[in-house]
Amino acid sequence: MERTKLSASDLRMRLRIRLAVAPRHLFHALWKPNTPADQRDDTRRDLVEFITQGWDSLDIEATPTHDNTRHTVPPASPIEQGR
């Protein structure tokens, strides 16, 4: 079987889509405070199975798709250093 290359941004998009179309009763069972633990575990397992359905054929790349240098801390200005 041929595997499809998938970047991190593509993976995030696929995850958003799967979460948007996931059956709401699964979320409600997880959010209810009185749901028994074993039922919550089964529901969580069903939700993960639904979300990851068909992902066996994907090959996820670990390389980022954008430059992270914008998120670095800028050097302190001479005014701030003199404090």
pLDDT at residue 74, rounded to an integer? 59
Among candidates 67, 29, 71, which has minimal Cα distance to 47? 29
pTM for the whole structure:
0.58
Tokens of 30: 């997880």
* Helix, strand, coil in percent for the chain, rounding step 5: 60, 5, 35
Distance CA 37, CA 35 (A): 6
Distance CA 80, CA 45 (A): 52
18-47 residue pLDDT tens: 999 999 998 888 888 888 999 999 999 999
pLDDT at residue 33, rounded to an integer? 87
**What are the boundaries of each domain within the chain?**
1-58
